[in-house]
């Protein structure tokens, strides 16, 4: 067996329930950008019938339809592994349905509030319209990420509690509420951006890597940076 004790463990939560609009690309680009810096990685796929390991470094959750979202939230709450991992200081990157269910509560398809995993101080309900389309937003300068772009498709609207900070302010699109997009709290970060978000926004991918491994050298601009510029130009 290979020695994976010091590899960066990237845990992909419930690909069978939460993986819309290519969100699995987030896993691939994190691995790629880590390995280009000589950081070994181990990818762990956790299906909804599996226990969530507590010893991971970066946990990724994607988007989902309303019913798979409810099932995923119930299983994650019953399992407890993701919450324990976040309490240990693991990084979490959650998209759309994944973002909503790591919060305190979210709305089901009739907007009844259901409990979330409770690792991010947000509450989501359903809006009157569906937010669909390209989104551009400026990330909180404290994170050093700049402008991000993505594709959003959600009915939910999200309000932040006092322990969470808005990830970004929207330039176009809806995000949480038409003003802000996403939230973070320590190393737990959620966003409505698909696209997938990390290939479209390499600096966001590098933020997650820095959270776990500290300073990392810059990479030569490549197709990821070109894609970022192209999508920004197309959206504005």
The C-alpha angle 119, 172, 24, rounded to 5 degrees, equals 50
Number of residues that bind ligand GLN (CB under 6 A): 11
In 111-222, alpha helices (H): 197-200, 202-213
Q: The tokens 């994607």 sit on which residue?
A: 62
Find the binding residues for ligand GLN in span 124-153 (CB under 6 A): 153
**By CB under 6 A, is residue 156 in contact with ligand GLN?**
yes
Task: Say if CB 76 and CB 120 are below 8 A apart.
Answer: no
**By CB under 6 A, is residue 180 in contact with ligand GLN?**
no
Find the binding residues for ligand GLN in span 91-120 (CB under 6 A): 96-97
Q: Which of 13, 19, 20, 188 touches ligand GLN by CB under 6 A?
A: 20
Find the binding residues for ligand GLN in span 64-93 (CB under 6 A): 64, 66, 69
Is 194 assigned a catalytic role?
Answer: yes
Minimum distance of ligand GLN from residue 156's CB (angstroms): 3
Determine the 3-state secondary structure of 69 from DSSP. helix
Distance, C-alpha 163 to centroid of its chain: 18
Per the residue annotation, which of 45, 47, 96, 154 is the catalytic one? 96
Among candidate residues 15, 31, 161, 25, the one with its CA nearest the CA of residue 98 = 15
**By CB under 6 A, is residue 155 in contact with ligand GLN?**
yes
**By CB under 6 A, is residue 41 in contact with ligand GLN?**
no
Minimum distance of ligand GLN from residue 116's CB (angstroms): 12
Residue 168 DSSP label: E
Task: Say if CB 184 and CB 165 are below 8 A apart.
Answer: yes
User: Which residues are near ligand GLN by CB under 6 A?
Assistant: 20, 63-64, 66, 69, 96-97, 153-156
Mind telling me the catalytic residues?
96, 194
């Amino acid at each position: 067996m290979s020695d994976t004790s010091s590899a960066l463990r990237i845990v992909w939560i419930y690909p069978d329930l939460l993986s819309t609009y290519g969100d699995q690309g987030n896993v691939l680009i994190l691995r790629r950008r880590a390995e280009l810096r000589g950081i070994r990685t181990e990818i762990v796929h956790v299906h909804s019938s599996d226990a969530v390991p507590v010893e991971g470094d970066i946990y990724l959750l994607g988007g989902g339809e309303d019913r798979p979202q409810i099932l995923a939230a119930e299983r994650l709450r019953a399992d407890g592994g993701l919450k324990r991992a976040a309490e240990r200081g693991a990084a979490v990157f959650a998209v759309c349905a994944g973002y909503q269910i790591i919060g305190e509560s979210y709305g089901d398809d009739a907007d009844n509030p259901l409990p979330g995993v409770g690792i991010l101080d947000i509450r989501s309900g359903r809006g009157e319209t569906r937010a669909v389309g390209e989104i551009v937003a400026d990330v909180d300068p404290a994170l050093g990420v700049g402008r991000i772009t993505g594709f959003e498709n959600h009915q939910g609207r999200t309000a932040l509690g006092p322990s969470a900070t808005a990830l970004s302010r929207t330039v176009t699109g809806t995000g949480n509420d038409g003003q802000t997009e996403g939230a973070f709290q320590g190393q737990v970060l959620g966003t409505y951006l698909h696209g997938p978000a990390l290939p479209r926004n390499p600096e966001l991918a590098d933020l997650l890597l820095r959270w776990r491994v500290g300073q990392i050298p810059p990479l030569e601009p490549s197709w990821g940076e070109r894609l970022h510029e192209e999508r920004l130009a197309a959206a504005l």
